[in-house]
C-alpha cells in the first residue's frame, strides 16, 4: 500500500458514493447507463471470487464487499425501484454492451498469467473493466444533459484508474520484479477512453460552465 494506491481506492469509493447519493437522495438515475453498471457488476463478481478463500487484510475484504454490494444494489435500483427506474433513459442507453463480454472472455482464455479458473476470471474482469465505461460515455454524448453528480461520478471513475497508473509506476521503481503487463495495458486503455471526457470536464470547471460533450 502506498499513497497513490490509497488515493486511487478512495477516488473509486467516492465515485460509488456520489452515484449512490444521486440515487438515494434525488431518486433519479438520469444520465446513468444501466449497461455500464451491469458490466461493473460482472467485473466485481468475477474479480472477487476469492473473497472468502484468500484473506489479504480486513481493508481488502471490506473494499471488495463494498464494491460488490454497491454495484449490484445500483443495478437493482435502476431496474426495479418504482421511482428510480422511471428516470432511466432506456431509449438513449442503447449501446449493445453484451458484445463486449464474449471478446473479453476469449481474450482472457488466450492471454493470462496462469490458466486456472480464478486467474482467467480475474483477467477477464480486467479486460471487461477497461471497456465497461463505453456505454456511459456514449449515453452522455447522446443526451448532452450532464448534471453535476453524474459528471463528478464519471470523472472520479476515470480518475481512480489514472491514480492506479501512478501507483504502478511508483511500484515499478520501488519494488523488485513488479511487472504486470495485462493490468497496466488494461488500466491505460480505460484511462485513454476517459481522456476526452476529462478534457471537457476541466474546460467546464475552468470556465464555470455546465458540462457538455460534443455530439
Tally of CB atoms within 10 A around 56: 9
Distances (CA, A) of 49 to 117, 119, 128, 179: 10, 10, 16, 23
For 101-147, how does the pLDDT look when each residue is reduced to its tens digit (9 = 90+)? 999 999 999 999 999 999 999 999 999 999 999 999 999 988 876 88
Torsion, Cα 155 195 211 93, to 10 degrees, reads: -80
pLDDT band at 177 (very low <50, low <70, confident <90, very high): confident
| Residue 26 · residue 148 · CB < 8 Å | no
- The string of pLDDT tens digits covering residues 74-101 is 999 999 999 999 999 999 999 999 999 9
Average pLDDT over residues 36-65: 92
| pLDDT at site 123 | 97
Question: pLDDT value at position 215?
Answer: 67
Amino acid at each position: 500500500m502506498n499513497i497513490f494506491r490509497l488515493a486511487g481506492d478512495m477516488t473509486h469509493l467516492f465515485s460509488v458514493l456520489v452515484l449512490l447519493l444521486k440515487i438515494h437522495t434525488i431518486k433519479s438515475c438520469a444520465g446513468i447507463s444501466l449497461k455500464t453498471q451491469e458490466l461493473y457488476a460482472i467485473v466485481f463478481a468475477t474479480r472477487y471470487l476469492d473473497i472468502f478463500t484468500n484473506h489479504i487484510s480486513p481493508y481488502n475484504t471490506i473494499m471488495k464487499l463494498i464494491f460488490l454490494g454497491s454495484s449490484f444494489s445500483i443495478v437493482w435500483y435502476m431496474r426495479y425501484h418504482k421511482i428510480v427506474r422511471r428516470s432511466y433513459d432506456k431509449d438513449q442507453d442503447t449501446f449493445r454492451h453484451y458484445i463486449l463480454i464474449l471478446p473479453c472472455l476469449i481474450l482472457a482464455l488466450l492471454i493470462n498469467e496462469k490458466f486456472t479458473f480464478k486467474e482467467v476470471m480475474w483477467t477477464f474482469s480486467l479486460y471487461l473493466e477497461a471497456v465497461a465505461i463505453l456505454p456511459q460515455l456514449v449515453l452522455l454524448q447522446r443526451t448532452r444533459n450532464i448534471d453535476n453528480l453524474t459528471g463528478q461520478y464519471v470523472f472520479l471513475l476515470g480518475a481512480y484508474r489514472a491514480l492506479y497508473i501512478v501507483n504502478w509506476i511508483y511500484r515499478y521503481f520501488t519494488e523488485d520484479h513488479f511487472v504486470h503487463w495485462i493490468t497496466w495495458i488494461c488500466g491505460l486503455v480505460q484511462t485513454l477512453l476517459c481522456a476526452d471526457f476529462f478534457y471537457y470536464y476541466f474546460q467546464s470547471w475552468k470556465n464555470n460552465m455546465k458540462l457538455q460533450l460534443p455530439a
